[in-house]
Chains A and B, each alone.
Chain A
Amino acid sequence: MTASAAPVEPLLSIRDLEAHFQTQVGLVKAVDGVDIDIFPGECAGVVGESGSGKSVTFLSVLGLVRPPGWIAGGSIRFDGRELTALTRRELRRVRGKEIAMTFQDALTSLNPALTVGSQILEVLREHTPADGARPAEAQALEMLSLVGIPEPAIRMRQYPHEFSGGMRQRIMIAIALACRPKLLIADEPTSALDVTIQAQVLDLLMALRHRLGMTVVLITHDLGLVAEYCTRVIVMYAGQVVEQGPTRSVIDDPAHPYTRGLIGSIPRLSRLGEKIRPIEGQVPELVRLADECRFRARCPVAEARCGARIPMSDLGGGREARCVRPGGRR
């Protein structure tokens, strides 16, 4: 946080999170010492290449890391409670009710054998007491029209395959938001959609965020989307957070060479006339990582000091980076 602003309690606070997978090649530390704060009302973007641990980090928040994976350590505080200490039953009451999550592909995320209506009704019934003021049907109808499904009463009786990709994504959002959660984790909500539909869905999401007073975490590969929709950005690389800060200032003056590489590889963000350069090399195997900067092998400015464990440095202005010379500064 900036020094001038009054300190705001984060809604979600992840500390030293470790999530591991036991695989045939060995222990994969998919999330390795992640610290992330999400503040009430903000829309935070989480970016990073495929396999950087974005999904696993936020699945951990809901306790949904499945075998062969598990949460190996760390703390997740949400709205004054420690989520890692909750019983299964208590955690279930958080899922869908206080924290909701949507996934990349709505076609595979909606149950093909159940009608859309029953899939939205069941989450309402699960979390609202039986004597709820309004019947679940009315709430479901309202939610579906809120996300822009025409003729919701008819559409409720249809199956997911009877909808277009964009409509399915809207339905998934309607289900996620049905119980008015405080926090929505949108894991690549638009990667499966074409560009025009992408913008429609994200604009809808932002409109709903304001209307329902929700906090949103937008997980994406696309730094361009973050620049457009998020006030703050968190950059992940190989299971760690490597940089975070206000979106504008991170994009204008990236501190970590990986962030610089990401920006350079996106045409919309690189400066006019500059050549687009994809980042050379690949994300390292997350097995038996040495105690060194994980980006070292691909870093154009790596030096001897990068061979040690790199802590996060506070750069002021709410910015942090995990680099020995952030922004090329000494």
Chain B
Amino acid sequence: MRLGFVVERLLQLVPVLLGVSLVVFLMITLTPGDPVEIMLGNERATPEQAESLRREMGLDLPPHERFVKFVRNALTGNFGRSFFHRRPVAEVIAERLPATMELTIVSMLIALALSIPLGVLAAVKRGSILDRIATVASLIGVSMPGFWLGIMLILLFAVHLGWMPVSGRVDFSHEVPRITGMILLDSLIQGRVDTFLDALHHIIMPAVTLGLAMAALLMRVTRASMIEVLQQDYILFAEAKGLGRARLLMRHALKNALIPTVTVAALETGYLLGGNTIVETVFGWPGLARVIVEGIFSRDYPLVQAGVLVIAVIYVSVNFLADVLYTLLNPRVKL
């Protein structure tokens, strides 16, 4: 890979982040509602008290100056303090991001484990009953709203059958000291099997909700590209060499057929890492998306701005990694 390519990509980040910041800033500034009023709530505060709070939060400045100040601070890594949490914004985000990352990783693992074998099988047995079932199932999966599936899972497995917890990441009784913030990982590092199992128990339903939708999409991508690859001359030539079926599929076909799957999966990972508002809300998952939504309701401007900025950075970085991955799989492309 050329160094120039990396630099180019980093430079592209500048206008993207500036644009995202501006849009978010405009949106929160134009939304009605006064953070000071919300914070003071029902407390009977004097106008003087309110005014000093306003100054403290930097809300007394005109909007353009507020934006310039935000950008200047952000450049030095200072995202300010959360109005609502009354702590540095960076701290709040660092606490919530691992939850979203954990959910993303498990969802993606579920999606890949389902979609690749099914997609390959559907392509190999094209037109068979199995192919048709898989195709219909993936159609349902793609078109099913995530919140609906989530609610159905909760109603059936948590409320009705009582097999699954309704919400949260882990029971209080199993909490472990924080290392990475990803409970599954932390519990393993610390050898706490009970915590690991409990966290797994909690993550299954939200991860399945996200994973199924993703699996449906990835299966369609895998099936389509596998069908295309299987018709290529190089598969016929490999077959004429006397290679066995397994070798033909795993080595000659899959390596080419997975190029689009991996690319789409990487892009979807970037999307998931931004957090899924609906799933995090339905399952009470304390992730990045939910904290941003809460921030919007409480007019917590610094938190919302920094949160969205973090999502944008993650998204762009994952896109970059997807490009790198693409070239690793496809020797014809050089970056």
Contact = CB atoms under 8 A, between A and B. Distances in A.
Interface of A: 62, 64, 66, 92-97, 100-103, 105, 108-114, 122-123, 126-127, 159, 161, 172, 175-176
A132 to B, nearest CB: 16
B297 interface: no
A114 B240 contact: no
B236 to A, nearest CB: 6
Given A122-B247, A161-B331, A161-B332, A112 B234 contact: yes
Nearest to A111: B234
B256 A112 contact: yes
Given A94-B242, A123-B242, A175-B241, A64 B233 contact: no
A314 B214 CA distance: 66
B321 to A, nearest CB: 20
Interface string B213-249: 0000000000000000000111011111111100100
Given A122-B247, A161-B332, A95 B242 contact: yes
B243 A111 contact: no
Given A108-B234, A110-B234, A92 B252 contact: no
Contacts, number: 76
22 contacts: A62-B240, A64-B236, A64-B240, A66-B236, A92-B243, A92-B244, A96-B240, A96-B243, A108-B233, A109-B233, A109-B236, A111-B234, A111-B255, A113-B330, A114-B252, A114-B255, A122-B241, A122-B243, A126-B242, A126-B247, A161-B331, A176-B241
| Interface of A: prevailing SS | mixed
Nearest to B256: A113
A64 B233 CA distance: 12
Contact of B240 (A100, A112, A127, A159): A100
Q: Size range of the interface on B? A: 20 to 34
Task: Report which residue of B232, B237, B332 has the largest number of chain A beta carbons within 10 angstroms of its beta carbon.
Answer: B237
Contacts of A105: 233
Contacts of A176: 241
B232 A108 contact: yes
B310 interface: no
A112 B233 contact: no
Contacts of B238: 111
Nearest to B238: A111
Nearest to B231: A66
Contact of B239 (A95, A161, A172): A95
A105 B255 CA distance: 21
Nearest to B259: A113
A93 B233 CA distance: 20
**7 smallest beta-carbon distances between A and B, as pairs:** A96-B242, A95-B242, A96-B241, A108-B233, A109-B237, A123-B241, A111-B234
